[in-house]
């Protein structure tokens, strides 16, 4: 088996036992990126020279047998909205096509301190706005399972890179399903942690009350290893939770006897593909065979989650993206006669259509006369959704359902109809609205041999339960080992 096919845990064991070096592993990944990235489009920037230098430094530490992290010498790729010092961070936008941050995001710094080797920055929907990875200014990302299909978004590059073995793991961000949807479409494992457990300092903001950084990997064990590094309180992030964080690897127990699972009827009823529904129910049968029990429950406000999400996220985006004005950094229009024209031309030329659409929607929702009717009402719906989840978790240990109504669709199939594309997030946005953790594992393939993702939703700060159930599922199934035929 090639080094690039191995998990973080397997690579870490090889490094500790001196059976491979960090430089060897990094070279294999860089060669594979050269071979496949021109077609797949996962990376915007590849850090070949610095990656090999970092790998050599990490190997020196490993050779000295110092007390090292399980991630020491392991390559990683980062979504291009997470700041990396002296490395271009574009958000896949013309607006930031030349932006080089003078600092690391907290997550970038933690991974660097743990000894990871940065392979490069990954493609995404522009400013994380989209579900297909078609809105990138540079190029679209193709799904490794079928090059004519979308990889999901906005962290499409992050999921496709892990699926195609262009990185052993990657970091993404999730505002309404942007880690979980691509993980499902690309057949990999991904997690959106509880809001506030992973610092957002250095993440270019889309919607501040919804955004959350999280990992994408080949299996659940790798997720736990990464979570141990990236979680924790950060005084630079006002929303960061100052609590005691567990060792997530201790949740990796192949025992789920007595677990109670709720399956919302709204998630497996009308609108879901029969093949997706069948795979979800078969996955639940596996969990039942391991001693868990499930029953149908109801989350009746599910139908209001999409409008509430798009109003809240667009309003916050309208505010956050006001900073991109051509004055301080990023793209600046070449021709303008005064300051107002500089703003107008810069933003008209620098932002893509989807970003403009959401800025306008958000500005409208926040405007005088409409604030109470739209934004305030969306916040009230948010409170109701949170209470409904709390009520459901009084009875169940976790909620399980599909990640998306269908498997990956073809390019252009939904991008001409934004509303239809937005409805694809129906099962994921509620998790961000309520600030809960969500984890996706592969649970099957459809007739076209496209991956299907199973979504696990937990109580706030109950990542260990999600990891435990997902780990037990992967210990008793082979779906996460299936690969695209590259």
Q: What is the predicted pLDDT for the residue at 473? A: 98
| Residue 67 scores a pLDDT above 80 | no
Which pLDDT value is given to residue 368?
86
Which residue of the set 9, 79, 121, 192 is catalytic?
79
What is the chain's length? Answer: 486
pLDDT at 422 over 80: no
The one catalytic residue in 12, 22, 45, 154 is 154
Is a pLDDT exceeding 90 seen at residue 56? yes
Tens digit of each residue's pLDDT (9 = 90 or more) over 105-146: 999 999 999 999 999 999 999 999 999 999 999 999 999 999
Distance CA 25, CA 71 (A): 13
Got the DSSP string for 170-217? EEEE-SSSTTHHHHHHHT-EEEEPPTTSB--TTBPPS-TTT--EEEEE
Q: What is the pLDDT of residues 285-344, one digit of tens each?
A: 999 999 999 999 999 999 999 999 999 999 999 999 999 999 988 999 999 999 999 999
Q: How high is the pLDDT of residue 270? A: 85
**C-alpha 233: how far from chain center:** 20
79 in catalytic set: yes
The answer on pLDDT for 269 being more than 90 is: no
Assigned token pair, 424: 């694809």
Distances 216 to 43, 189, 213 between C-alpha atoms, Å: 15, 6, 10
Bin 327: left if φ > 0, else alpha if -120 < ψ < 50, else beta: alpha
Query: Taking Cα atoms as reference points, which of 408, 291, 311 lies closest to residue 360?
Result: 311
Quickly state the pLDDT bin for 192 (edges 50, 70, 90).
Answer: very high
Q: CA–CA separation, 172 vs 80, rounded Å? A: 9
Q: Is residue 345 within 8 Å of residue 333, measured between CB atoms?
A: yes
Rounded distance, CA 286 to CA 271, Å?
24
Per-residue pLDDT at 31: 98
Is residue 418's pLDDT more than 80?
Answer: no
Mean pLDDT, to the nearest integer, of 204-224? 98
Q: Note whether 44 and 170 are within 8 A (CB).
A: no
Q: What is the mean pLDDT of residues 369-377?
A: 91
Contact 331, 346 (CB under 8 A): yes
Q: What pLDDT, on a 0 to 100 scale, did the predictor assign at position 160?
A: 98
Query: What's residue 420's pLDDT?
Result: 67
DSSP state of 403: S
Is 387 noted as a catalytic residue in this protein? no
* Domains detected in the chain: 3-255+439-445+470-481 (3.90.1300.10)
Q: Is the distance from CB of 311 to CB of 207 less than 8 angstroms? A: no
pLDDT confidence band for 58 (50 / 70 / 90): very high
pTM to 2 decimals?
0.96
User: Tell me: the pLDDT tens digits for 336-370?
Assistant: 999 999 999 999 999 999 999 999 999 999 998 88
Backbone angles phi and psi of 219, in degrees to 5:
-155, 175
The H or E element spanning position 260 is strand 260-264
Residues 140-169 pLDDT 10s: 999 999 999 999 999 999 999 999 999 999
pLDDT at 434 over 90: yes
pLDDT of residue 181: 98
For residue 419, what pLDDT is reported?
Answer: 63
| Cα–Cα distance for residue pair 19/73, rounded to 1 Å | 13
Percent of the residues in the chain that have a pLDDT greater than 90, as a whole number: 93
Burial of 440 from C-beta contacts in 10 A (0-12 / 13-18 / 19+): buried
Asked whether 8 and 228 are in contact (CB, 8 A), the reply is no
Concerning whether 178 is annotated as a catalytic residue, the answer is yes
Give phi and psi for 439, each to the nearest 5.
-130, 135
Q: Which of 178, 199, 313, 318 is catalytic?
A: 178
Instruction: Using the structure block, give the residue that is written with the tokens 């080089």.
Output: 100
Token pair listed for 479: 């779906």
């Amino acid at each position: 088996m090639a080094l690039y096919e191995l998990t973080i845990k397997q690579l870490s064991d090889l490094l500790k036992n001196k059976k491979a070096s960090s430089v060897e592993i990094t070279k294999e990944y860089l060669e594979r990126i050269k071979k496949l990235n021109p077609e797949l489009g996962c990376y915007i920037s590849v850090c070949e020279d610095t990656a090999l230098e970092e790998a050599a430094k990490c190997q020196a530490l490993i050779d000295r047998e110092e007390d090292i992290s399980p991630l020491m010498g392991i390559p990683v790729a980062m979504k291009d909205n997470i700041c990396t010092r002296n490395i271009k961070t574009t958000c896949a936008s013309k607006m930031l096509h030349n932006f080089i941050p003078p600092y690391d995001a907290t997550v970038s710094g933690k991974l660097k301190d743990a000894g990871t080797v940065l392979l490069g920055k990954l493609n995404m929907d522009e400013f994380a706005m989209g579900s297909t990875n078609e809105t990138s200014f540079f190029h679209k990302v193709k799904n490794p399972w079928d090059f004519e299909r979308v990889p999901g978004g906005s962290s499409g590059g992050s999921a496709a890179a892990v699926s195609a073995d262009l990185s052993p793991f990657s970091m993404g961000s999730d505002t309404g399903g942007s880690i979980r949807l691509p993980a499902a479409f690309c057949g990999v494992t991904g997690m959106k942690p509880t809001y506030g457990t992973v610092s957002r300092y250095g993440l270019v903001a889309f919607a501040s009350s919804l955004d959350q950084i999280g990992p994408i990997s080949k299996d659940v064990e790798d997720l736990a290893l990464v979570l141990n590094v990236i979680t924790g309180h950060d005084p630079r992030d006002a929303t960061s939770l100052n609590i005691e964080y567990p060792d997530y690897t201790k949740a990796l127990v192949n025992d789920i006897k007595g677990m109670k699972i709720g399956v919302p009827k709204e998630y497996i009823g009308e609108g879901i593909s029969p093949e997706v529904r069948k795979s979800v129910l078969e996955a639940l049968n596996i969990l039942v065979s391991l001693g868990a029990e499930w029953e149908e429950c109801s989350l009746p406000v599910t139908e209001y989650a999409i409008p509430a999400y798009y109003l809240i996220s667009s309003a916050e985006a309208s505010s956050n993206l006001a900073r991109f004005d051509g004055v301080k950094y990023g793209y600046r229009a070449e021709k303008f006669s005064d300051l107002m024209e500089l703003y107008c031309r810069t933003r008209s030329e620098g932002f893509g259509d989807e970003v403009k659409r959401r800025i306008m929607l958000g500005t409208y929702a926040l405007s005088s006369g409409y604030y109470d009717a739209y934004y305030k009402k969306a916040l009230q719906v948010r409170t109701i959704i949170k209470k409904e989840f709390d009520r459901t978790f009084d009875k169940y240990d976790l909620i399980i359902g599909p990640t998306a109504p269908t498997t990956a669709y073809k390019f252009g199939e939904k991008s001409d109809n934004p509303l239809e594309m937005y409805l694809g997030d129906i099962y994921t946005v509620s998790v961000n609205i309520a600030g809960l953790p969500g984890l996706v594992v592969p649970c099957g393939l459809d007739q076209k041999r496209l991956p299907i993702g199973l979504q696990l939703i937990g109580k706030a700060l109950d990542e260990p339960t999600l990891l435990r159930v997902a780990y037990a599922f992967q210990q008793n199934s082979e779906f996460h080992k299936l690969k695209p035929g590259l």
